[in-house]
Amino acid sequence: MKLHDYKLIFVVVGLVGVLLIAAPAFADIVSPPPNEEKFSELYLLGPAHIAANYPYNLAGGQNYLVYVGVGDQLRSSAYYTLYVKFRNQTDALPNATQGTPSPLVPLYEYRFALQDGAYWESLVSFSVANASVSGNQSIVNQLTINGLQFDVNKPSAWDSNSTSFSYSLVIELWLYNATSNAFQYNNRFVNLLLNLTSTA
């Protein structure tokens, strides 16, 4: 072998070595960004601002507190609506399989915008009034949410399995769709279970 051939071998081996050493750095530059999931968070916290001690047993005329929050992890800004609904045990919940909201009419709503990575949170204050229990039947006639009163006229039959007159606050997350120029149900909801224990 001639000296020129040895030089060529050294150059090739040197280039391969440099490429092997620099490969991790090139991988960060050349590789596509990771496939990060885009989603919106919806959560509910109890009155102590933790995921515990949620109100359950309701007495007429008493005020109850929870916190509702939303986090934007969509990698872009977004406009949201939260709908608050009141249901008894026969009213339909949102259908997660079909991605459809509850057919109940919203009583209260929140509207806000969030930047990517930002969070929004609000206190939800509610109480029942004009409620009655007669035998195995109860009825809640009025519900107050954040100081606004709504006529709901919701009956509930005694449920011997859960030993309760079952009601719940349902909070649904809706997201603005710029293509359709409308808010669409985001297939996320929280369901706060409640039991009417006293009408006074």
pLDDT of residue 32: 47
Q: What is the pTM of this model?
A: 0.80
pLDDT of residue 128: 95
d(CA 130, CA 67): 25
Sequence length of the chain is 200
Give the pLDDT confidence of 67-119 residue by residue, as tens digits. 999 999 999 999 999 999 999 999 999 999 999 999 999 999 999 999 999 99
d(CA 53, CA 61): 20
pLDDT of residue 129: 92
d(CA 56, CA 194): 4
pLDDT of residue 198: 78
Higher pLDDT, 121 or 12: 121
Report CA Rg, the chain: 28
- In Å, what is the CA distance from 127 to each residue of 89, 158, 174? 18, 20, 24
What is the DSSP track for the chain?
--HHHHHHHHHHHHHHHHHHHHHHHHHHHHSPPP----EEEEEEE-TTSSSS----EEETT--EEEEEEEEEESSS-EEEEEEEEEEETTSPPPBTTTTB--SSPPSEEEEEEE-TT-EEEEEEEEEEEEEEEETTEEEEEEEEETTEEEEEEEEEEEETTTTEEEEEEEEEEEEEETTTTEEEEEEEEEEEEEEEEE--
- CATH, range 39-198: 2.60.40.3880
Give the pLDDT confidence of 157-181 residue by residue, as tens digits. 998 888 899 999 999 999 999 999 9
pLDDT of residue 124: 98
Give the pLDDT confidence of 38-72 residue by residue, as tens digits. 999 999 999 999 999 999 999 988 999 999 999 99
Report residue 16 CA to chain centroid gap: 52
The CA-CA-CA angle for residues 131, 137, 139, to 5°, reads 25
Give the pLDDT confidence of 4-21 residue by residue, as tens digits. 555 555 555 555 554 556
Percentage of the residues of the chain whose pLDDT score is greater than 90: 74
Q: Can you give the residue ranges of every domain in the chain?
A: 1-31, 39-198
At 37, the pLDDT band (50, 70, 90 cuts) reads: confident
Residue 33 has pLDDT above 60, yes or no: no
